[in-house]
Structure 1
Amino acid sequence: MKNLFVLFLTFTLLLTSCSSSNDDQTPPDYENKPVGEFIDNWSFRVFPKLGDNFDLAEFKLWVPESTNNLKAVLILCNYSNGGSFGWLNLEEWKNFAKTEKLALMAINVKTTTADGFYTDAKGGSGDALLKALDTITYKNNLTHVSKLPFLMKGYSAGGVFSYYFSDFKPERVIAFVNIRGGAVGLTASGNSNIPGLMLLGENDAISRNQNMAGVVLSKRNEGGAFSYAIEPDVDHFGNLGSSWELARDFFSAALSKRLTDGTNELNIIPENSGWLGNNATKEIFSFNEFPNPTKEGSWLIDEAFAQKWKAYQTK
């Protein structure tokens, strides 16, 4: 009988111990963990928080020698789960940044197991970009750079991120270019006045092209500053050279019209000051001379860019 009592007492204590151990467990302290860690002086890795839509978020900043008169930060985004750090070594982007007085930021963001996908900038990836820029510029005594507005250029999923970032922080985006990023849907009207360029490949998936053109036409129905162009004989994985060249022309025009010296506030470009392109024939017209309903045409920021929009599609 005594042995049975001892056995019962031991079993009870064991159960109590297990229960107490489970009760004492606390969830990870997501709120007080570090924001991230430096990879090097110009690269920062942001740690995901509970519910963020990314598992890896790394950002690298490049600035020209003179940083006192920088106008904007150009964000370079690559395909799905693919980084763009290597683009910071390309002379074509560094030369463009020097000419237009820009900083460059490349991203390496991946989603593997988290809820959602990082292309939705509102799901955590957009905040990660802002945190990384703030942290890198603070470390390098360039806090004024963290307040600059953005140009957003992305290919494939990177283009989708660029588009959705313009909806996440419309007050920060001068203009964006989405190259062959078809997983887009209609956003609220907050980004309709942001010059947006969707670049399609003629031989890309039909669904991608329909989505991108559909967004543009929906935004144009609101009077939005959106356009699309179709590069001939190119599929999803075709060479990006012509698209990058047109993107740079687009950004140069947007910088001249959206920025005012001495302020980071962005101008809204009057719709009727632009040009319009016929998406079927590729003909271009000044706004008031467009022969069809204006909402049916791609909105082109000025005559010079309209000529380049046409040439891109008729080469």
Structure 2
Amino acid sequence: MKNTLIIILVFSAIQAEIYDVSIPENDTASYTYADFRMWVNDSTDTLQGIYWFMHANNGDSRNIVSDSAYQALVNGQNFALMGAHIFNMHMETGIGDAVIAAMDSFAVLAQHDEISFIPFFINGYSWGGQFGYHFTRWIPERMLGFITQKGGYHDTTDAGVAIEVPGLMFVAENDLPYRIENLTGIFLDHRPLGAKWILAMEQGVGHTLVTDYPFLNSFFNTVADLRLPNAVDVFQPITLNTLPDSIGWLGNQDTWTIGSWDCYDGNFDSSSWFPSKDVGEHWQTFVSENWVYDTSACDPVFDSSYVFFTVGIHGSEDESNYIITTNNDDLINQCRSQLDLPEDERMLHINGYLDYGDGGFNDPWSWHIIPNEWLLAEMSIGLCNGDPEDVENDLDYWINTVGQLCNWSSFIKEEIGSEIEGPWAWVNDGYLSGIHMPGDTVHIWSDLDPITMTFQRWTGDTLLVADPNEWHTTFIMPDNDVYFYAQQDSTGPIGFEYETIQGLENPKNVYYKFPENSTGTIFLFHGGSGNAEGFANRVEIIQFSQDALQKGYGIIITESENATLNTGLNRWLLETWTIEQNIDVANIQALIDTFTVRGNINAQDPIYSAGVSNGGNFSSIVAHALNFNAAVMYSAQGNPPELYQVTETPTVFCPAKYDPALGGGNWAAHMNFDTLQSRDIPSVFYELDHSPVYPQRFARIPGIDLSLSNDLFNEFLTMGFIDNNHYFTVLDDSIQYLYMTNPDSFSIL
């Protein structure tokens, strides 16, 4: 807005500041008045957003900034708290522009420049909810989420991209019909379009403020956690995370049953969409007044009524054992009767229907017999007489054609339900479900296909996990059952473009991919014995690139001059640090120039480098020489150390804790990190610890399915390459050497 008069008052409070800003109308505006008040905690270094409570018609919500409960709420997310005194809710009057102008004024007053860019979360009552909804439609890119409570004059036209902004819409059973119909109609019109909105009917009340603060606050905190990027520059326009549909839970408006995206059995188009199970449970409690707790069935949840039995095969080793479970008393009694007999007299075999996955109990197999869908038989006729290994080796045939397993030599070997006691961890779309003792550190993995998928986050009991945004993470087992749900997106193969592009002296092999509207570029550098083609096809590089592309970054992979010249030593040059003296640096500049001319790289966008081993060391050099925004080194110590006494480049060190190529406990990498820290150069040191292997691990490699992965795991375990805690005891080089010199010692590999 131009030529506006800004009226400013400042009030001091203990450990906080309260600011008032008024934006009078100018010649082009007609909103009457717009007064704002903001509370900022002095101890907050960088604000992440603004929680804005909006008043009812002819009201004033500015005093909300003195509410200690709201102050505590926003402090938890490093938000400012704002109220307002506004007359008009229609954006065409200029009121939206007045809000933005007020934020610029608050940014100056509070000395928090980020206020000009950070997102809003609006909780509005009645007319205030209508304002919040209209503001969301007007500027959805600045809206983290919104709550609208019981208004009756929301705009009913197409909301456009605002359907991606999570919304919580309240109506009341005893409110005036037009209010109920207005919000309900908007909800039902937009849910089939994918609107991430919740409709909540409050029972037995009329046009009153909603006071279920656990519900309201759960929605706010969940939306803030999910939509705010992990690493963000709040001093420029922020791109908020768009939430995938599949991370959500859904709720039936009639029965109040909730369910996860994969398990929900209701009509998606008319059901509320929740950003988490916790929010869904709060909604269910609110709308049903604590009467309904139903969840759509999905993977079975085994309570204490279930008993687990190990099934053995007469004449076979323990490797053929598998597990079944039931809570059918007759089956349990039959099995226990068998256990009363000597093992060689247990002649009843198991005949049961098969399904994919271990079912949460039949680890390490990739199949299971469906709980309660089995019996003990004296005789079975048909094609189902096979070994557990047969099923594992041809899952499609056994599950989809035969349908059941009835090995005639199978028998009930032992009851494990009473021996293995403890809480369960249930991992949906991931590994490893099972019983764990309270206090144990437990590793879980999503079943991510790194070639065609990207991991989003874990949902469920995420307060327990070390990092809910990592596809492999850990948690400390509590003294109760826990549930984790892997949320991931299908992207399809990455499809790098390949061409030879002229470097300083020679054409370079280049693999690259740019998303639409790229926001930055990442160069990736191979190790000392690598090349561009091999590096671009590595599983880890593809997974990294998929994640980067989804976040808007372009990827460029090329190779060292030594690799181009086929010298036999493909190392990047590290001895010189300038474009004039280092041809590898000059080649990278040539690629930047080429892609800039093509329009793939924007001169104002950041450029980053990341490399492995020798390529990691080069990452630091080229970033210094060409003034990149940051450098990342994997399995590298940062040689030469003199560089870190002069470079201004923010640097991330990512050495592996047990990397034999570096030795000395990564002391050199840490020394270089310490040098940057002492010079106040932004830097981070992440030391990657080893992690256990799991039966499905090798299926991440193209060409290896779950069955072969399980066989490889068991072979390595039998040969002593993996210990009882599932950690490798030898390096991959040792396994490769043994295979090359004595291949007959391996039956699977």
What is the TM-score with the length of structure 1 in the denominator? 0.83
Q: In 2, distance between residues paired with 1:287 and 1:70?
A: 33
Is 1:119 equivalent to 2:89 in the alignment?
yes
Give the CA deviation at 1:292. 2.8
* Correspondence 1:154 to 2:124: yes
Separation in 2, partners of 1:200, 1:298 = 13
**More strand as a share of residues:** 2
2:40 is equivalent to residue 66 of structure 1: no
Q: Give the letter aligned to residue 109 of structure 1.
A: I
**CA–CA distance in structure 1, aligned partners of residues 210 and 225 of structure 2:** 25
Corresponding residue of 1:169: 139
Deviations 1:82-134 (A, max 9, x none): 11012111111001011121101111012xxxxxxx21234311111111111
Q: Which position in structure 2 is the counterpart of 1:9?
A: none
Per the TM alignment, residue 246 of structure 1 is displaced from its structure 2 partner at its CA by 2.0
Q: Deviations over 1:17-52 (max 9, x none)?
A: xxxxxxxxxxxxxx8643332244610111112353
Native 8 Å contact 2:124 2:147 kept in 1: yes
* Shift, 1:176, TM fit: 0.4
Q: Compare 47-56 and 204-213 and name the one that shifted more.
A: 47-56
Sort the Cα spacing of 1:133 and 1:32 in 2 relative to 1 into closer, same or farther, 3 A: closer
| Structure 1 counterpart of 2:181, one-letter code | Q
By how many angstroms is 1:240 displaced?
3.0
Distance of 2:86 and 2:264 partners within structure 1: 42
Aligned residues: 276
Of the three residues 188, 192, 206, the one matched with 1:221 is 192
Larger radius of gyration: 2
Matched, 1:202 2:173: yes
State the secondary structure of the residue aligned to 1:268: coil
What does 1:178-197 align with in structure 2 at a 5 Å threshold?
178-184=148-154, 185-197=156-168
Alpha-carbon spacing, 1:267–1:79, altered in 2? closer, same or farther (3 Å): same
- Report if the CA contact (8 A) 1:57-1:107 is conserved: yes
- Which of 30, 34, 57 aligns to 1:57? It is 34
Richer in helix (by share): 1
**Please, which of 295, 298, 301 is the counterpart of residue 272 of structure 2?**
298
* Structure 1 unaligned blocks of 5 or more: 1-30, 111-117
**Corresponding residue number in structure 1 for 2:211:** 241
Distance 1:164 1:187, change over 3 A: farther
Alignment of 1:257-296 (within 5 A): 257-263=226-232, 264-296=238-270
Change (3 A) 1:160 1:245: farther
The Cα shift of 1:213 comes to: 1.1
SS in 2 for 1:282: coil
Q: TM-score, normalised by structure 2?
A: 0.36
Letter in 2 for 1:232: Q
Describe the superposition over 1:180-200 as per-residue Cα deviations: whole angstroms up to 9, x where unpaired: 112112333120111011011
- Which whole-Å CA distance do the structure 2 matches of 1:119 and 1:32 have between them? 21
Identity over the aligned pairs, expressed in percent? 26
Give the distance between the partners of 1:32 and 1:313, measured in 2 at CA.
Answer: 47
The C-alpha deviation readout for 1:163-183, integer Å capped at 9, x for no partner, is: 111111111001000011121
Tell me the equivalent position of 1:27.
none
Which residue is 1:6 aligned to? none
**What's the secondary structure of 1:289's corresponding residue?**
coil
Of 156-165 and 289-298, the range deviating more from structure 2: 289-298
**CA contact 1:226–1:298 (8 Å) conserved in 2:** yes
**1:239 CA drift (Å):** 4.3
Q: Which has the bigger relative contact order, CA under 8 A and spacing at least 6?
A: 1
- Alignment CA distance shift 1:198-1:66 (3 Å): same
Q: Deviation above 3 Å: which 4+ runs of structure 1? A: 31-35
Q: Which amino acid aligns with 1:250?
A: F
In structure 2, the CA distance between the partners of 1:197 and 1:312, relative to structure 1 (3 Å rule), is same
Structure 2 distance, partners of 1:65, 1:170, is 29
Pick the aligned partner of 1:79 from 27, 43, 56. 56
